[in-house]
Chain A
Amino acid sequence: MVTTSKAWEVLRRVPDPEIPVISVTDLGIVRDVVAREDGVEVIVTPTYAGCPATEVIRASIEEALRAAGAVSVQISTRLDPPWTTDWIAPAARKRLREYGIAPPHALPLDEQPILFAPRRLPVECPRCRSDDTERLSQFGATACKALYRCRSCREPFEYFKPL
């Protein structure tokens, strides 16, 4: 039998398929783990409703827990409360930066004005740490990121959008 603490330990090593330097628990999408005699139930929440990585994440979680000895693995979805980037672990923020992705600000979205909001927030370049950066697009290669460029070192980079 796989205990709850063993299951959490396994989950801490399941990487996010799009950003492999952080795990599914770093990301804050594992909401609960329930170990039973006959298996493990993992309750996850999606980052973005349409995120295509969701299916891969579910498969990776199941595979990892089975490899650890769980006979049956059930994965359920919980939408409420909705996922927020504030749940990303502090240590994972550091790893994001080292990986070249600027970690998200912890700003309440409700307080941002409708027009031209991100221009008010300095986003630090993950490479040279300069604040002199510009947004190229609010949307990037995945739903959770925006595209930026550093005016100081001239490198483009991605910014994990606060959600």
Chain B
Amino acid sequence: MSTTLVHTEAELQYLLRIGDSSLILGQRLAEWCGHGPILEEDIALTNVALDLIGQARLLLSAAGELEGRGRDEDQLAFLRAENDYRNVTLVELPNGDFARAMLRNFLFAAFQLQLWQALSTSSHAQLIAIAAKSAKETRYHLRHAADWTVRLGDGTDESNRRMRAALEYLWPYTNELFSPTAEDDAVEESGFGIAWSTLQPAWEGTVLPVLAQAGLGVPARTPFLSSGKSGRHSEHMGHLLSELQYLQRTYPGNTW
């Protein structure tokens, strides 16, 4: 393969990792519709879902163009097989309770904000534009989730217990946010993106002080490493996709 092809394939994988992570968390948050603990938070969760789906549309459209096989955002979102999705495992985990939803949004929004800022120097003009647009929305997601992380962590015995359980459950999956992939070198070399590991110090700089203010002890790092970025997903992904893809699989090409 020529260097250009290697780069294009690496860049495609990179776009899918970012776009699929937005898409799948958007789907998980949409499941909250009608189930939020109070009306305002129900609306907030679906607003964040909508922003994430908007990001996914832009990123998957860009991925389709880069791929050059005529696939658009809808075909990529609705018609791929499970192993072709490249989202981090963190975002596909079941919603659980409100504490877990807020903590996941917090951990992921802090990651996304670092990513969008790092992509401001990408060699790909469209990716710079998408990142600049998304950063504005992600700031709201981050603030909303950070507020709740402190409020619940530093709240009642029950809310603190739930927040600690959520942190215990989610924390091991944050390893994958910064784990290297086979494409990192090619993507850095072409200037398209940055290696995932470079985002970790700034992410910790955002996350750790908020967890401390929430009175939550940070769990020890373990060697556990989830592998959604390589297409090997948890047992929850298939169930999520069956709902996400149902309509297009049952009525191919249907629009309304």
Chain A residues near B206: list those with CB within 8 A: 114
Q: How large is the interface on B (under 10, 10 to 19, 20 to 34, 35 or more residues)?
A: 35 or more
Any chain B CB within 8 A of the CB of A80? yes
Residues A139 and B144 in contact, CB atoms below 8 Å apart: yes
In the complex the two chains form, what is the Cα distance from A51 to B51 in whole Å? 8
Is the beta-carbon distance between A163 and B40 smaller than 8 angstroms? no
Interface of B is mostly: helix
**A-B interface pairs (CB < 8 A), number:** 88
Q: Which 6 A-B pairs have the closest CB atoms?
A: A50-B54, A49-B54, A137-B40, A80-B129, A79-B129, A139-B44
CA of A51 to CA of B55 in the docked complex: distance in angstroms?
11
A161 near B140: Cβ-Cβ < 8 Å: yes
B167 is an interface residue with CB less than 8 A from chain A: no
* Measured CA separation A10–B133 after assembly (Å): 28
Within 10-42 of B, Cβ neighbours of A (below 8 Å) are at 40-41
From A52, A82, A139, A147, give the contact of B132 (CB < 8 A): A82
Chain A residues near B126: list those with CB within 8 A.
79
Q: A79-B129, A138-B140 are in contact. Are A147 and B147 (CB under 8 A)?
A: no
Given contacts A115-B150, A115-B213, A147-B40, contact A138 B52 (CB under 8 A): no
Chain A residues lying within 8 Å of B143, measured Cβ to Cβ, are 112, 114-118, 138
Total count of chain A residues near the partner, CB < 8 A: 29
Do A79 and B130 touch across chains, with their CB atoms under 8 A apart? Answer: yes
Among B47, B48, B210, max chain A CB count under 10 A is at: B47
Give CA–CA (A68, B58) in the complex, Å. Answer: 32
